A and B are shown apart, each in its own frame.
Chain A
Amino acid sequence: MKLLTGLALLGTTAALSACGSLGTGEYGYSDYGLVHVTRVNVGDGQMSVVAPRPYNRHRRILFSDVRDVEDWTLNGPILDGISFVSGMNNNRELIRQRRTADQQVPRFRSDMTPPEITAMLESLYRVKGGAVDLKTLSLQPRPFLGANGFQWDYEHLDQDELWRRGRAVGAVIDGKLYMILLDAARSHYYDAELPDFEAIVASAQRRG
């Protein structure tokens, strides 16, 4: 998943010398690009989807991003986000982490069963996302990209005291992880975005 260094960049871009320049408004560089309502490749291109309405795609940050992962949002990542994993290989990790960091998120392994994949995601939320509690609501089989996959529904409480809800749909195909995940504030935002998420999942295709 992306490490947002954008705010660090913003700290510099927003520092203008003249007063009366609060914020740069909506011009110039932003971390987000526009996703049009058409078939697009996500992640490193091994998967493609169609969005039912325009979305905002978080731009890749060199050196700190994982190639197979891409993040979208409608209202900003604090409120909602759809993440894509496009064919992640064995032994790869979802986020960059220092090898010496004592709290590690487990790497993906091709022989992972869905409970292990969801445990990996739970780690990501707790260790890196700072979630103070995470509950599985359900884990069930679900076909995805023509393979026997899974659907994981969950909720988590974060340090801003906000509950968020999520759904992940994924499958391991030829040893690679393909997944689409929705995570949003439980109040209003998750329900509002779920239909979009389902449409995106239905449209997903593997490439190459």
Chain B
Amino acid sequence: MRKLGLAAALAGSVALSACVQTKQYADMQFTPPQGDYKLLVLRPDVTVGSLTTGGMVEPRADWTDQARSSIVDALRAQQAARGGKVTIIEHRNEIPGVTAQELADVERLNAAVDESIVVHKYLGDYLPTKRGKGLEWTLGQDAVRLGQKTGYDYALFLHGEDQVASGGRIALGILGLAGCIVGFCAPNIGGQQQLDYASLVDLKTGRVVWFNVVIAGSQVPGIKFGDLRTPQGATQMIDRLLGRMKPGTGVTKGVVVTDDPAAKH
């Protein structure tokens, strides 16, 4: 059985040592959240290995806890600087009024949407109907209902390598041949690799309004990129991922935006 070895495919795009790349896509009318907004961050997958610190993986509870709290701290700090209220949930049953199953369903749809964005925006397999149009993907009513039930304006999904690899088989019509033969893609290729991506969903519309992928790779093992277990490393990762949110192309071109007061700045 084959899987989409997205990290494997993405890894091909990083050839030199000590290279960090990041590329954002945004909805045409997107402006980064500012001021008084409520952001829900879902289950940042921060166990060591999930956020791919390459082959250096040990099942150490202390390391896991360190990385987890570093990421969460960095997230809070970064979002606090922007204003807004951030809630970071770690388990699916932590949101009152929303069942774990409902949340799981949203997460799974989001994973499928994010995978599509990676494939069709980042890996070059572009869809002609979406070309040059920023981001045109949505989670639909499930996300809107989540927003209505919880009162949050945005949801941020942080993904680690594992999520990509566990995307699994896809529907009829496209049977992935690429990927790994053994049945499970080994995310580590050669040197250390760090692959993270984040998607921001506007819960009023259900649309994915912003997306970013960060790859930090090294051909020389031992060169570490911001060890996620340390506050500096975590801050660095969060900063690369979320810190430099740029508005959508429609905004910078001076196109009239929606009359959403939050958009005016």
Chain A directly contacts chain B within the complex, with at least one CB pair under 8 Å: yes
Which residues of chain A have a CB within 8 Å of any CB of chain B?
1-8, 10-26, 28-34, 54-56, 58, 64, 71, 73-79, 81, 83, 95, 121, 124-125, 128-131, 158-162, 164, 166, 181, 183-185, 187-189, 192
Given A3-B177, A21-B13, A78-B115: A14 in contact with B124 (beta carbons within 8 A):
yes
Q: Does B126 contact A (CB under 8 A)?
A: yes
Docked complex Cα distance between A193 and B192 (Å): 42
Near A by CB (< 8 A), chain B positions 78-111 give 104-105, 108-109, 111
Docked complex Cα distance between A183 and B108 (Å): 17
Q: Are B127 and A32 in contact (CB under 8 A)?
A: yes
Docked complex Cα distance between A186 and B105 (Å): 11
Q: Nearest CB to that of A28 among chain B residues?
A: B124
CB pairs A–B below 8 angstroms (14 shown): A1-B173, A1-B175, A7-B178, A15-B12, A19-B19, A26-B132, A30-B128, A32-B127, A76-B120, A81-B171, A162-B109, A188-B109, A189-B140, A192-B140
**Contacting residue for A23 out of B23, B115, B177, CB 8 A:** B23
A-B pair number, CB within 8 angstroms: 206
Q: Does B223 contact A (CB under 8 A)?
A: no
Residues of A within 8 A of B12 (CB): 11-12, 14-15
Q: Nearest CB to that of B116 among chain A residues?
A: A76
Q: Does B57 contact A (CB under 8 A)?
A: no
Q: Are B168 and A130 in contact (CB under 8 A)?
A: yes
Q: Are B174 and A81 in contact (CB under 8 A)?
A: yes
Given A11-B12, A14-B9, A14-B123: A22 in contact with B111 (beta carbons within 8 A):
no
Docked complex Cα distance between A18 and B13 (Å): 9
Residues of B within 8 A of A34 (CB): 128-129
Residues of A within 8 A of B130 (CB): 75
Q: Nearest CB to that of A74 among chain B residues?
A: B129
Q: Nearest CB to that of A156 among chain B residues?
A: B171
Residues of B within 8 A of A189 (CB): 140
Q: Are A23 and B122 in contact (CB under 8 A)?
A: yes
Q: Are A16 and B171 in contact (CB under 8 A)?
A: no
Docked complex Cα distance between A56 and B107 (Å): 26
Distance to closest chain B CB from A63 (angstroms):
12
Residues of B within 8 A of A161 (CB): 104, 108, 168
Please give me the 5 A-B residue pairs with the lowest Cβ-Cβ distance, nearest first.
A188-B140, A7-B178, A130-B169, A159-B168, A24-B124
Docked complex Cα distance between A16 and B16 (Å): 9
Q: Nearest CB to that of A125 among chain B residues?
A: B172
Distance to closest chain B CB from A83 (angstroms):
5
Docked complex Cα distance between A23 and B212 (Å): 12
Q: Does B72 contact A (CB under 8 A)?
A: no
Residues of B within 8 A of A124 (CB): 172
Residues of A within 8 A of B173 (CB): 1-2, 58, 71, 73, 77, 81, 83, 183
Q: Are A158 and B168 in contact (CB under 8 A)?
A: yes
Q: Are B176 and A22 in contact (CB under 8 A)?
A: no
Distance to closest chain B CB from A29 (angstroms):
8
Query: Which of B10, B16, B121, B127 neighbours the largest number of chain A CB atoms within 10 Å of its CB?
Result: B127
